[in-house]
Amino acid sequence: MDKFKVRAQDTIFLGEATEQLLSNRKVLMWSYVYGYYINKANKRELNLFQYLQEDLEKHTDKLSHLYETPLAKIPDYHEFIKWRENVANYTRVTAGFLAKFVEGVMAGLTDV
């Protein structure tokens, strides 16, 4: 806040991104357990699960990378605003991928 002369409310996006990353990582952690027990004979379900899992993992890693940008690499207020928008937008995108993953897993559960 001191470096870029922003208000506390201008940093709320960091808490939202943190919560999203925690949710994604928790779901991903348990997805490996679920993946172990998927009926391997049902290739369609297995392939969909692996695709959605990989997609969520990829987007979670990208959000993590954006989120962890060192402040030293953000030279001024305008770059801070761009970074804030990128993190906030990608937090929403990642939330969508989490929802899609959970929806896909739940749809697979009803087919079992």
Three-state SS sequence of 10-53: HHHHHHHHHHHHHHHHHHHHHHHHHHHHCCCCCHHHHHHHHHHH
Determine the pLDDT at residue 44: 85
Q: How far apart are CA 54 and CA 36, in angstroms?
A: 15
- Report how many domains make up the chain: 1
Residue 3 maps to a domain: no
Structural domain boundaries, residue 31 = 8-111
The residue type of 9 is Q
Residue 1 maps to a domain: no
Unique residue bearing structure tokens 């991903």: 28
Asked whether residue 22 carries a pLDDT value surpassing 80, the answer given is yes
Asked whether residue 112 carries a pLDDT value surpassing 70, the answer given is no
Residue 61 maps to a domain: yes
Model-level pTM? 0.87
Q: Give the whole-number percent of the chain exceeding pLDDT 90.
A: 56
Q: How far apart are CA 65 and CA 57, in angstroms?
A: 12
Residue 2 maps to a domain: no
Determine the pLDDT at residue 10: 78
Residue 34 maps to a domain: yes
